[in-house]
Amino acid sequence: MIQAVGLDEQTNELEVVFTSGKIYRYKGVPKTIYEQLLVADSKGAFMKSFIIGMYPEYKVSRRRV
């Protein structure tokens, strides 16, 4: 489900690159949630339970460099 994740600590935005190629950013994600995502056995299940629908999200057209 997830190809890559990263957290912008200045804005607390989590960027997620899904295996489908879609890229979403989630606003206001605390660093602790990001760290828990990184060590989760199932990152997809963690996203569904603790991030998707819990934080405002928006789709980005391409990955930031």
The pLDDT tens digits along the chain (65 residues) read: 899 999 999 999 999 999 988 999 999 999 999 999 999 999 999 999 999 999 999 999 765 55
- Contacts of residue 34, Cβ cutoff 8 Å, sequence gap at least 6: 5, 7, 14
Q: What is the largest CA-CA distance in the chain?
A: 29
- pTM given for the model: 0.88
Retrieve residue 62's tokens. Answer: 């391409």
Angle in degrees, 0-180, between the axes of helices 43-50 and 31-39, rounded to the nearest 10 = 150
Retrieve residue 51's tokens. Answer: 């991030």
Q: What is the pLDDT of residue 10?
A: 95
